[in-house]
Amino acid sequence: MKRILVTGGAGFIGTHLCERLLQEGNEVICLDNFFTGSRRNVQPFLANPRFELMRHDIVDPILLEVDQIYNLACPASPVHYQANPIKTIKTNVLGIMNMLGLAKRVKARILQASTSEVYGDPLQHPQTESYWGNVNPIGPRSNYDEGKRVAETLMMDYHRQNGVDIRIVRIFNTYGPKMLENDGRVVSNFVCQALRGKDLTVYGNGEQTRSFCYVSDLVEGMVRMMNQDGFTGPVNLGNPGEFTMNELAEKVLALTGSKSSIVYRPLPENDPQRRRPDISLAKEKLGWAPVMPLQEGLVPTIEHFREVVAASLLEKD
């Protein structure tokens, strides 16, 4: 049993990770400022004596005795990270410095939740970890993209200079139950629009691609990365299945049985055209590959949003 800190633990991925770590018998400290995460997400764990919930912002230092740190704290969707871009940079830069300082002091191993956004609008396809990316440093997404890139730099420098035991995972688009309805992500938007009988809003011509990883597959990869020795990463974690947004819209319509139509809206600025992980390194080093196809992972995701939509309709009555 280990004592494990999960920052951003009350968010979408964090909640699934906390659940998994508790199931394995660990003590989990979930630290969150509740910007996009919620107490409701972790409510089922509160009765567990091995679970502790702390309201704290990682921009401020903290001292805790822990063996491992998973640093997930950071809003992940464009609507939320662009709501207060300077705060997002502070979370990515000052926040990781605080967590690295903590890891150094208590000799904890630290895993950083980095992102495929470090590749920007990639010129190499699919993306391998050796690709340095094509990122606009002054665009509306750069607070997040460049923030995450600096966080990787800090991880590597604390490792080289101070011997901190680090792990970096680059997460590609992840979906599943407990995604936020209002985060503007394509899966949550399409599913909620379909369930509410509203038009599905495809941005651009819908031929841009993404690769969607089911959240339990991602969590498996993160835990494997944290618990292996001798490989710091960065390593891509994602599902290499590549779909256009038009294909995703059709799948959502078929699985929900919705009669909604598809409408086309302008493509947001700096929206990457293609994204697909090369996961050869994760296969080699971690023996990891995702097992949940999009078609199957959408089913529990749709069920989750059915409950969310039904609850919001009841509130309106």
- Closer to ligand UDP at the Cβ: 131 or 203? 203
Q: Does 210 bind ligand UDP (CB under 6 A)?
A: yes
Residue among 78, 122, 126, 297 that touches ligand UDP (CB under 6 A): 78
- Candidates 87-95, 148-156, 185-193, 214-222 — which segment interacts with ligand UDP by CB under 6 A? 185-193
Using CB under 6 A as the binding rule, whether residue 12 contacts ligand NAD is answered as: yes
Task: Decide whether 14 or 221 has the Cβ nearer to ligand NAD.
Answer: 14
Q: Residue 306: which of 192, 197, 200, 193 has the closest Cα? A: 192
Closer residue to ligand NAD (CB): 38 or 244 = 38
**What is the 8-class DSSP label of residue 120?**
B
Query: In b/e form, how buried is each residue of 204-215, taking b as 16+ CB within 10 angstroms?
Result: eebebbbbbbbb
CA–CA dist 137, 134 (Å, integer): 9
Q: Nearest CA to 153 among 116, 114, 101, 195?
A: 114
- Structure-token pair, residue 199: 């038009």
Unique residue bearing structure tokens 């409701």? 40
Contact status: 271 vs ligand UDP (CB under 6 A): yes
Nearer to ligand NAD, 195 or 215 (CB): 215
Residues 19/222, Cβ–Cβ less than 8 Å? no
Residue 113 interacting entry, from ligand UDP, ligand NAD, none, C-beta within 5 to 8 Å by type? ligand NAD
Q: Report the alpha-carbon distance of residue 11 to residue 90 in Å, rounded.
A: 18
Instruction: State the amino acid at position 263 in one-letter form.
Output: V
- Could you tell me which residues are beta bridge partners of residue 174? 213
Distances (CA, A) of 136 to 33, 79, 113, 176: 29, 18, 21, 29
> Minimum CB separation from ligand NAD for residue 239, in Å?
11
Task: By CB under 6 A, tell whether 72 contacts ligand NAD.
Answer: yes
Spatial separation of the C-alpha atoms in residues 219 and 217, rounded to whole Å = 6
- Per CB under 6 A, the segment of 13-21, 195-203, 223-231, 287-295 that binds ligand UDP is 195-203
* Helix, strand and coil percent figures for the chain, each rounded to 5: 45, 20, 40
- In the complex with ligand UDP, the residue whose CB is nearer, 109 or 276, is 276
User: Pick from 30, 111, 155, 245: which binds ligand UDP (CB under 6 A)?
Assistant: 245
200 token code pair: 């599905």
- 271 interacts with, out of ligand UDP, ligand NAD, none, CB within 5 to 8 A per kind: ligand UDP
Q: Which is nearer to ligand UDP, 101 or 272 (CB)?
A: 272
Cβ 270 to ligand UDP, closest distance in Å? 9
- Using the contact rule CB under 6 A, the part of the chain among 7-15, 19-27, 120-128, 307-315 near ligand NAD is 7-15
Q: Are 304 and 178 in contact (CB under 8 A)?
A: yes
The interface mask with ligand UDP, positions 139-178, x = CB under 6 A, is: ----------------------------------x-----
Retrieve residue 316's tokens.
Answer: 């309106």
Active site residues: 144
Q: Within a 13 Å sphere around the CA of 186, how many CA atoms are in the beta-carbon half?
A: 25
Residues at the interface with ligand UDP (CB under 6 A): 77-78, 173, 184-186, 189, 201-203, 208, 210, 245, 267-268, 271
Residues at the interface with ligand NAD (CB under 6 A): 7-8, 10-14, 32-37, 57-59, 72-76, 91, 95, 113, 115, 171, 173-174
